[in-house]
């Protein structure tokens, strides 16, 4: 059993800490947010993630997982300290590292034994060296330490499974022995381990996320071409995905990506390139294509409602940026709702999980407790998040509840166009022009 300190009990820190505890380690998870720590000690989760509450409860009960606001308590006896704090985007797209710097200083000031310091947060290339300098300067007296980069590859909604069954573990350090120690922590996961230098490990994280974001933007651009030429992007994606060089993942045309990772990481990588005098054409276009999806939905819905949405009532099926999470960061629903409201529409919304988080972010949206109540009296519905619940809706009941000439814009391609149109809906989807209607 190893003792591990995890600094930051947000999304990455809480999931990682709970999973390391479940692997048999003693984990002391630290956060400076006293209310968050207090709630965790009561079993109240700060985020929604399937299975996380049960995982935390089990490991707290076993004594392997504890929460504190004290760096001294968290570091005493710990051999490893993971920094898993937020790195939000700055104004220009650069990563804001103030929380990383604060954590590094506090660790330096409170460590009493040799320590392996691990950057779990997504940080710009070169941050590992910068953190090492901060720790050296902030130590009251010299104590040996090493810095290792161990980027996370967790997907919201399936984070526990991703941690326990990773495709690979990436470790970077100038100290090979320290990297090997961190590798031993991950051996029970039985996944390939890549050990490289600090900057290469940091770059692997950004390059991976940027590539996946580019893949999504690519299929969305293909969807536009499908609409224009009468092809079905869903079938195109299936045909592409059988090619092992391409693969089926991240080929779902729709409203594009949001959340905390892809937008931030693509912007940050583009910023790093521009800082070095490079012109990251693909990265910038990846961003452009993604955010154009939101404008396109608004344009489609306005057109489907006769060119004017003043006085119309429009409901959003889903608010979170993706299913199985309550994360509203950079969610397409925010831009879509605000744009349609500005055009004169009354906006409604329903989401199985995220409405408590969404209320403060979407004051223009009236929230409903179920999709049927929301649909009653609506002129149009927009599928924003592909929750399974929406795939099982009784569309006949929805049709009866909505106003005449009911509109559905399927931003996630979850319905069969022919079936929905047969029911009498004015229906469009993303890139499904095979029916000859250009929609």
- Over residues 116-175, the pLDDT tens digits come to 999 999 999 999 999 999 999 999 999 999 999 999 999 999 999 999 999 999 999 999
Rounded CA gap, 71 and 298, in Å? 48
Mean pLDDT over 339-362 rounds to 98
In CATH terms, is domain 231-435 a member of 3.40.50.720? Answer: yes
Element (H, E) at 261: none
Give this prediction's pTM.
0.93
Tell me if residue 19 is catalytic: no
Mean pLDDT over 1-10 rounds to 96
Strands 365-367 vs 346-350: parallel, antiparallel or unpaired:
parallel
Tokens for 387, please give them. 């929750």
Mean pLDDT over 87-105 rounds to 90
8 Å CB contact between 174 and 196: no
Which candidate in 150, 226, 261, 378 is catalytic? Answer: 261
pLDDT score at 434: 57
pLDDT score at 439: 43
Rounded CA gap, 353 and 408, in Å? 22
- The answer to whether 3-196 and 231-435 have equal CATH topology is yes
Architecture of domain 3-196: 3-Layer(aba) Sandwich (3.40)
pLDDT score at 89: 83
pLDDT score at 438: 42
Beta bridge partners of 194: 170
- pLDDT band for position 45 (50/70/90)? very high
8 Å CB contact between 269 and 280: yes
So where are the chain's domains? Answer: 3-196, 231-435
Taking alpha carbons only, the member of 174, 101, 81, 156 closest to residue 385 is: 156
8 Å CB contact between 151 and 122: yes
pLDDT score at 433: 81
- CA quadruple 130, 176, 184, 145: dihedral positive or negative? negative
């Amino acid at each position: 059993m190893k003792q591990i300190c995890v600094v930051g009990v947000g999304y990455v820190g809480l999931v990682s800490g709970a999973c390391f505890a479940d692997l048999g380690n003693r984990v002391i998870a630290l956060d400076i947010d006293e209310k968050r720590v207090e709630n965790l000690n009561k079993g109240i989760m700060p985020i929604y993630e399937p299975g996380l509450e049960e995982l935390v409860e089990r490991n707290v009960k076993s004594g392997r997982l504890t929460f504190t606001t004290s760096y001294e308590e968290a570091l005493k006896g710990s051999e490893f300290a993971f920094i898993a704090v937020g790195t939000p985007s700055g104004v220009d797209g650069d990563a804001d590292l103030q929380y990383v710097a604060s954590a590094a200083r506090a660790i330096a000031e409170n460590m009493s034994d040799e320590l392996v310091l691990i950057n779990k947060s997504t940080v710009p290339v070169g941050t590992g060296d910068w953190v090492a300098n901060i720790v050296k300067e902030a130590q009251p007296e010299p104590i040996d330490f090493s810095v290792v980069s161990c980027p996370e590859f967790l997907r919201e909604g399936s984070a526990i499974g991703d941690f326990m069954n990773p495709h690979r573990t990436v470790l970077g350090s100038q100290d090979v022995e320290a990297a090997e120690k961190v590798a031993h922590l991950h051996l029970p996961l039985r996944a390939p381990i890549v050990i490289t230098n600090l900057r290469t490990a940091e770059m692997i994280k950004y390059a991976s996320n940027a590539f996946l974001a580019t893949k999504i933007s690519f299929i969305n651009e293909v969807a536009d071409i499908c609409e224009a030429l009468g092809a079905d992007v869903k079938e195109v994606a299936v045909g592409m995905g059988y090619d092992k060089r391409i693969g089926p993942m991240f080929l779902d045309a729709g409203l594009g990506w949001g959340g905390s990772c892809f937008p931030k990481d693509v912007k940050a990588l583009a910023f790093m390139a521009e800082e070095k005098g490079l012109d990251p054409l693909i990265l910038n276009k990846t961003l452009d294509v993604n955010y154009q999806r939101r404008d396109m939905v608004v344009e489609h819905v306005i057109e489907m409602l006769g060119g004017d949405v003043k006085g119309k009532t429009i409901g959003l099926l889903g608010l979170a940026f993706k299913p199985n999470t309550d994360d509203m960061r950079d969610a397409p629903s925010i831009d879509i709702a605000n744009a349609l409201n500005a055009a004169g529409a009354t906006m409604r919304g329903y989401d199985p999980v995220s409405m408590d988080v969404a209320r403060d972010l979407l004051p223009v949206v009236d929230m409903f407790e179920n999709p049927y109540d929301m649909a009653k009296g609506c002129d149009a519905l927009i599928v924003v998040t592909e929750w399974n619940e929406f795939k099982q809706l009784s569309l006949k009941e929805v049709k009866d509840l909505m106003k005449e000439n009911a509109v559905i814009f399927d931003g996630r391609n979850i319905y069969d166009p022919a079936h929905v149109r047969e029911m009498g809906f004015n229906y469009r989807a993303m890139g499904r022009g095979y029916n000859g209607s250009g929609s």
